[in-house]
Structure 1
Amino acid sequence: MSGALKEKERIVQILLEAFERNKSVNYICCNDGLRYQRIRLLMEYAYDVCKKYGKVYLSDNKNACALILLPAKKTFSFQSIIWDIKLVLKVIGLNHVRKVLRREQEIKKHHPKYPFFYLWFIGVLPSQQGSGNGTSLLQQVLNDARDMGLQVYLETSTLENLPWYKGFNFKIYGELDFGYRFFLLKKS
């Protein structure tokens, strides 16, 4: 297995374990007998998109990762269309597309019109949470965003994560309701 493929597999595994019970992720993935596989495919999709249109981070000890999207760099391509079709068919499910599209439109209404760093996913293996891996990785992400002169935006449905983000001076600038509380945060 090549180094790039090993990196992708490790990152997908970290995110799968870290987000398996996440309300927002489970809202997107059709909740059926294939939920675990659907979450894996969602994380593969996010990895591919961020590898092409953003940044991918893996901690030195390979226990934490982050996926950053740079929306200003995202352009139309046939590859991205194929990824989106696969996402609809294999992750969301045709019966849930409208619901998920409405959710994504509502979120994007709150994003800035200028270039920004979008922290799509940051995850730590559950067995390693609380050991500083996520903190070190988030600091690296914030340093890169600062060096590029970009604000960092993210969303979370995990109430327990809010104090951690606030410790990095993220501010809640909005809250949405999708049947669960969904917080919009930014750091200037």
Structure 2
Amino acid sequence: MPIALSSDKPLIIDILSAAFDTNQSVNWLAGTSRQRVKNIRLLCAYSYELCSMFGEVYVSEDRKACALVLLPDQKKLTAKSIGLDIQLVLQTIGLLQLPKALKREAAIKRAHPKAALYHIWYIGVEPAEQGKGIGTNLLQELLQRARDLNRLPVLETSTLQNLPWYQQQGFEVYRELELGYRLYCLKAAGIEKV
């Protein structure tokens, strides 16, 4: 599984923006204004940068899928991370939505198991390429990477239709959060603590 290069950032933003265009959780942050598409791209760019700093970023060999992984225990406050947070608030979320966004992030963090996590923040496949096994292959490689690092794979989805696919890949729902939409918290099945 190729680690993404900084030159892959535009491709990754394109893939994620298209794959998450109708995602409830992403649109909850991006809003419904005329700026929604731009906001989704800004959110994907923010996520790319954060995972580049405190996790891992992958692009599939065929360059049709990608994944952003966060290692939460590696995340630190730095001048760059603070700058990214401020930019996200001012350009995407907005000051009025900030309290709701912070409450949402705190709820997700509280829901996470107490373990060394491999947080699959985003996994996306170009919409025209979905259903061809590209995402399945990428997810299986991510699960192997998590095992190699002795970390518990976790992720969240607000897309009910994705649950059977995640369950087929070895995930189980361990918590549901009501955040103005239902968010399903999943972890690799059969692993309690790492």
For the aligned pair, the TM-score class normalised by the smaller chain equals: over 0.9
Q: Is structure 2 residue 107 aligned with structure 1 residue 106?
A: yes
Alignment-derived partner of residue 18 in structure 1: 19
Matches within 5 A, 1:12-51: 12-51=13-52
5+ residue gaps, structure 1: none
- Contact 1:57–1:66 (CA<8 Å) still a contact in 2? yes
Matches within 5 A, 1:170-181: 170-181=171-182
Matches within 5 A, 1:143-162: 143-162=144-163
Q: Is structure 2 residue 141 aligned with structure 1 residue 140?
A: yes
Q: Is structure 2 residue 64 aligned with structure 1 residue 54?
A: no
Relative to the length of structure 1, the TM-score reads: 0.96
Matches within 5 A, 1:83-102: 83-102=84-103
What is the Cα deviation at residue 128 of structure 1?
0.2
What is the Cα deviation at residue 177 of structure 1?
1.1
Supply the distance in 2 between the matched residues of 1:10 and 1:53 (Cα, whole angstroms): 20
RMSD: 1.2
Alignment-derived partner of residue 66 in structure 1: 67
Supply the distance in 2 between the matched residues of 1:104 and 1:81 (Cα, whole angstroms): 16
Alignment-derived partner of residue 115 in structure 1: 116
5+ residue gaps, structure 2: none
Which stretch shows the higher mean deviation, 109-118 or 164-173?
109-118
Alignment-derived partner of residue 131 in structure 1: 132
Give the residue type in structure 2 aligned to 1:39. Answer: I
Which stretch shows the higher mean deviation, 22-31 or 77-86?
22-31
- Contact 2:21–2:37 (CA<8 Å) still a contact in 1? yes
Q: Secondary structure at the match of 2:175?
A: strand
Residues 44-96 of structure 1 deviation map (CA, whole Å, 9 limit, x = unaligned):
00000101110101000100000000011111200000000000000101111
- Contact 1:30–1:96 (CA<8 Å) still a contact in 2? no
Give the residue type in structure 2 aligned to 1:15. Answer: L
* Pairs aligned (count): 186
Relative to the length of structure 2, the TM-score reads: 0.93
Supply the distance in 1 between the matched residues of 2:118 and 2:32 (Cα, whole angstroms): 30
Q: Percent identity?
A: 46
Q: Secondary structure at the match of 1:56?
A: strand
